[in-house]
Amino acid sequence: MPDIQLGAHTFRSHGTKVLRFHMHDWLILVLLAVIDIILNVIDPFHRFVGKDMMTDLKYPFKGNTIPFWAVPIIGILLPFAIFIGLYFKRKNVYDLHQAILGLLFSVLITAVLTDAIKDGVGRPRPDFFWRCFPDGIGVFDNVTSNVICHGKKSDIKEGHKSFPSGHSSWSFAGLGFLSWYLAGKIKAFDRRGHVAKLCIVILPLLCASLVAVSRVDDYWHHWQDVFTGGLLGFIVASFCYLQFFPAPYHVDGTYLVSLYPI
């Protein structure tokens, strides 16, 4: 692995060349974004919901403690700010580019997997009754006892997207990647026993956990949805980090150097 002098490879000197070298990766990111948009447009599978199943689906239909628009801020923009802050300190465009690319892959791969599973499973949310029957009057098929919803179409569509939790998977994908990134930068696994480093690494995961817990508190998800979403996001984040960076405990895991001639 060739050595570089930190501070000698900036956006101005090497940014264009790095982007050009990874052009195909950025095109794949665009493709993933398009796929995820399509998955959000199509209707999910409307799983059978019988009258006897409503006992666990009558939780209040309420708003989100953490709105949808806040998740990209927490899972993407916050890590971006940290990446850019470290760039201004070390002036290493290789490290910054791989961090941004790895984070976006982590989030978008997780998003595609999450929304594909949501559409395929069609599990009703804990508040499905009130989405289906906003007036509180349940209507069921006389033969199958399946629900005959008369609620708002968009609410019913979202009501079939409980498994897994998108808030949880996105948060753990973005903040999980950030956690691995910080572990490498501060040498959290240098075996010197500095607990403060461990706290720094755990902090993003704690934030992601709080986002996940809010989904259960808001009755938008069952606990299994949140657990699976968080696990999915963190696993994808781990694979994506190791795709773009050495392991945090590796001797070269602190700051990425150029792996290609530019």
Give the active site residue among 97, 160, 221, 222: 221
Residue 204 in domain: yes
**Cβ–Cβ under 8 Å, residues 83 and 100:** yes
172 inside domain: yes
What global pTM score does this model have? Answer: 0.89
pLDDT at 14: 59
Label residue 27 exposed, middle or buried (CB < 10 Å: 0-12, 13-18, 19+).
exposed
Question: Do the domain assignments include residue 167?
Answer: yes
The amino acid present at 246, given as its one-letter code, is P
150 is annotated as an active-site residue: no
Range of the domain at 214: 11-45+66-123+162-244
pLDDT at 157: 96
**Residue 187: exposed, middle, or buried by beta-carbon count in 10 A (0-12, 13-18, 19+)?**
middle
Whether 151 is covered by a domain: the verdict is no
- Residue 150 forms part of a structural domain: no
The residue from 9, 97, 167, 222 that is catalytic is 167
pLDDT beneath 50: ranges in the chain: 1-7, 261-262
pLDDT given for residue 214 in this prediction: 97
14 included as an active-site residue: no
Number of separate domains in the chain: 1
Whether 215 is covered by a domain: the verdict is: yes
Examine residue 209 and state whether it is found in any structural domain, yes or no: yes
Structural domain includes residue 25: yes
Q: Which residue type is seen at 116?
A: A
Predicted local distance difference test score (pLDDT) of residue 227:
97
